[in-house]
Chain A
Amino acid sequence: MTLAEMQFLTPDLRIAAAEIFILLMACLILMFDLLAKDRKRTATFVSTQLTLVGAAVITFSMSSGEISYTFSNMYVADLMADLLKLLLYLTVMVVLFYSRGYILEREQMAKGEYYALALFATLGMMVMISANHFVTVYIGLELLSLSLYAMVAMNRDSVPATEAAMKYFVLGALASGLLLYGMSMIYGATGTLEITAVAERLFMGQADQTILVFGMVFLVSGVAFKLGVVPFHMWIPDVYHGAPTAVTLFIATAPKLAAFAMVIRLLVNGLIVLSADWQSMLILLSVMSMAIGNIAAIAQTNLKRMLAYSAISHMGFMLLGMVTGVVGGDARFALNAYSSSMFYVITYVLTSAGTFGMILLLARAGFESDEIDDFKGLNKRSPWFAAMMMMMMFSMAGVPFFVGFFAKFSVLQAVVAAGYLWLAIVAIIFSLIGCFYYLRIVKIMYFDQPTNSLPIAAPLDVKVLMSANGLAVALLGIFPQALMSLCAFALLRSL
């Protein structure tokens, strides 16, 4: 190829307008924060929130429902990406609202960098969601991870937080290595890094199977690390526990959406031809996660740690939907299965935001409120928030009328429809075990006497938001149709 034949196409920047906007704003906020005198950083907080609103407006107005590529096919915009990004902005906004009070009370975190890092992490997740190229996936993932490492370590005098950050960083680097190694092998087998092109080459059967399957195994391992499923889950309990609760809230919510998108992009968009191989891997990961997550959670006395193990089991359950897409080469069930996983992830993020938000709501200066016993007798102190937390717990346990039930239901019906009856029974037995520790939280709040009778000292806006979050868990449980069909529709238009 001579120089004259090479074409330098100007990329269509409009398709990635939201990412560009967030990037610009994050840089501006970082700069102007240097000039801020206000210890509370109100201007930084407000402008961060407005940036997210602005990004939502851009994403919503640019959403065409068509699949369009830009940056030489490295970046894709489709309905699934738009939906996940809108939910991502919403989640990050809610997370920042919940964490504001908490970080203001902690000297070293009450800085503008917290908001800038949150925006950079958001940008990383957006890039992951819209990636159509292995390198794009990797860049997005690293941007997210590096921001999160810094956020975990922000409370720098705290020993557990520093330890958690170190652990997260070392294991995260290992996972990135696995992912890169897998990508390079797939590149070796197919000769391309572009996800849709990989899929085309695989369809035509022009790939070395051995290298390909090796690559896939590493790829799945990297993805499993990001999702936090067994046996790549070691970092989850320590990071959730050690990180400042505000950061735990962040890690426990928004990145799950991005990780789901990563699974869809890499495995479904890219390696669907190998579905039989990665599905059998995911079955193993999923069953082990449900087993270890649910059983280990029972033994915890720290609520953050318990929720960490619960997160492992939930991600395992979510993967059940991913393993039932293609049955014996028949992809009839794919849409049903993947959209049930998507619904599961979204409802999990909603509920998870509420539970960690509740820990933040009860925390005060010098008091973390992250032990399970700190919730003792909450019903005496505040019947309203005890009821909200109870709804969240029953939702996670999968009891109707809460949205968690319909999440479990939609995944299970996909599993049964694909003929994996035994898998459904295994899933159900482990969720029964899981019920125990959620019920224990309800027991602590309702059956035990409070150890202190301090009223809940959260600002009104956080209280309102928390109530809205709790009621959403109940309302989506009574009317799950809209979100369910939205997920199905978005995937239908994107796959």
Chain B
Amino acid sequence: MSGTPLLSLAIWVPILAGLVVLATGSDRNAPLARTLSLIGALAGLLVTIPLYTGFDMHTPAMQFVELKTWIPRFNVNYHLGVDGISMLFVILNSFITVTVVLAGWQVIDSKVAQYNAGFLIMSGLLNGIFSALDGLLFYVFFEASLIPLYLIIGIWGGPKRVYAAFKFFLFTLFGSLLFLIALLYLFITSGGSFSILDWHQLPIGMTEQTWLFLAFLVAFAVKVPMWPVHTWLPDAHVEAPTGGSIVLAAIALKLGAYGFLRFSLPITPDASHTLAGLVIALSLIAIIYIGFVALAQEDMKKLVAYSSIAHMGFVTLGFFIFSPLGVEGALVQMISHGFVSGAMFFSIGVMYDRAHSRQIADYGGVVNTMPKFAAFFMLFAMANAGLPATSGFVGEFMVILAAVDHHFWVAFAAASTMIVGAAYTLWMYKRVVFGAVANHHVAELADINAREFLIFVLFAIGALGMGLYPQPFTEVMHSSVNELLRHVALSKIQ
């Protein structure tokens, strides 16, 4: 397989499939558009499988590398490659795309081709972000991926969709523009190279590192999102259609966290160490304060959105402890959150499709009319709360363990999420699912159909499989994470 440009396929197969879907045109051809999208998404997933099976887990080096000149005038290359950190996200993203296409199958009935094409194109762009090894290529994918999500929220979203779409776009763009300046600065100081791997080796003074770190921090903190630049996320989630929420939670949020590992830590290691306290403090605020904010929500999507922010707080916390356990725990948490939050948003979408409400107060006793749904929803709610044997537990536990090593009170504060997280998730679950049938809307609910069942099974395999046997996920990370931490421990100041 060594000659096959697998990463290029992972990027361009979905994008080309998206263009083909777009060509089916009006809604008269909707069934064709749906079938083609599913084929495209499955093909996109299929080409990423060899990334795992052919992966050499004993080396921290980049694998499946492709290097072609793109813009020689500025020494920009089409440089792709994955290591143990990024490889799993390419697969996760391609997997999520399949579920998104399935999730919109019966629900989306206007502009079907555009809807599915948007997701397929975005899937390719997101794969591009995870596999880019050239700074400008990364940036180009990073910004271009805003366009499909902006359109998806704006066209198929809820009543306040325009506001949410603008807020999403402008917030993220603001962060990434400062990031562009940082990239240009690195390009100039490195003597004209956009290679991220070159930048890892570039010696930089402390003042410059601090500014670069802060520029990176703004860009990635908006994307993660971290408190206090998180306010776009609840709006975007609430207004986005189900598919949009799934991709946003499962993949788009991971981009910021991934950026920390690819840019902040290795390029500005000294500043990362110095300013780690800042990031840890912001992470703890996200975990505790946003946890309580989630508790007070009356809209289910908003609640899960806030819980996403809290969970991502664990990720950034894990990164800035600088221990293998912490970083791996954070990575596991990222992947787990992809399955669990995706499934949570899908669950809410299933109810919304039937009753057209996301308010907790409009439900009650759903288990009586939708028993199968209630069982799945229970599983994912538990995973969201971090119950052992689900994937949600593994990552949080690893991060907390690492935090104990770092500082007891940090670990103590982080561990409080076990209680708060369980409280908001299970309390919502209780109010929505248990009790007597609340009103005639609930009484008329029909249980999930075969398509929804299939999607739930896919998510459940991910969430449970990772919870019971996380080793296939963690073993591929070891070399890369250890190499990263070894590199971060070295000072770059000369």
Contact = CB atoms under 8 A, between A and B. Distances in A.
Contacts of A436: 166, 170
Interface stretch (B146-154, B241-249, B281-289, B348-356): B146-154
Select the residue from A400, A401, A431 with max chain B CB neighbours within 10 A: A400
Contacts of B469: none
Contacts of B154: 442-443, 446-447
Contacts of B187: 413, 416
A424 B184 contact: yes
Q: Is the interface of B mostly helix, strand, loop or mixed?
A: helix
B289 to A, nearest CB: 28
Interface of B: 25, 70-74, 111, 114, 136, 139-141, 143-144, 146-147, 150-151, 154-155, 161-162, 165-166, 169-170, 173-174, 177-178, 180-181, 184-185, 187-188
B99 to A, nearest CB: 25
A351 interface: no
Contacts of B180: 409, 412, 428
Nearest to A429: B177
Contacts of B188: 413, 416-417
B174 A432 contact: yes
Nearest to B169: A439
Contacts of B72: 481, 485
State the 10 A-B residue pairs at the shortest beta-carbon distance, nearest first: A400-B140, A416-B184, A428-B177, A447-B154, A481-B71, A484-B73, A400-B144, A485-B73, A417-B188, A413-B184
A484 B181 contact: no
Given A405-B140, A416-B185, A432 B166 contact: no
B184 A399 contact: no
A191 interface: no
A413 B114 contact: no
Contacts of B151: 442, 446
A436 B188 CA distance: 30
Interface in A383-399: 383, 394, 399
Nearest to A419: B188
B90 to A, nearest CB: 20
5 contacts: A400-B140, A401-B144, A416-B181, A432-B177, A439-B166
B177 A481 contact: no
A450 interface: no
Interface in A430-454: 431-432, 435-436, 439, 442-443, 446-447
Contacts of A383: 25, 114
Q: Is the interface of A mostly helix, strand, loop or mixed?
A: helix
Nearest to A480: B71
B184 A410 contact: no
Contacts of B70: 481
Interface string A276-306: 0000000000000000000000000000000
Contacts of B177: 428-429, 431-432
A404 B188 CA distance: 21
A57 interface: no
Nearest to B156: A447
Nearest to A414: B184
Contacts of B174: 432
Contacts of B165: 443, 447
B71 A484 contact: yes
Contact of B181 (A425, A435, A480): A425
A421 interface: yes
Contacts of A428: 177-178, 180-181
B146 A399 contact: yes
B170 A424 contact: no
A300 B181 CA distance: 30
Given A400-B143, A428-B177, 16 more contacts: A399-B147, A400-B139, A400-B141, A400-B144, A405-B143, A409-B136, A416-B181, A417-B188, A421-B181, A435-B169, A439-B169, A442-B154, A443-B154, A447-B155, A481-B73, A485-B72
A410 B184 CA distance: 10
Nearest to A394: B147
A234 B25 CA distance: 44
Contact of A401 (B140, B150, B166): B140
Nearest to A415: B184
A79 interface: no
Nearest to B187: A413
Contacts of B147: 394, 399
A434 to B, nearest CB: 11
A488 interface: yes
Given A383-B114, A435-B170, A447-B154, A412 B184 contact: yes
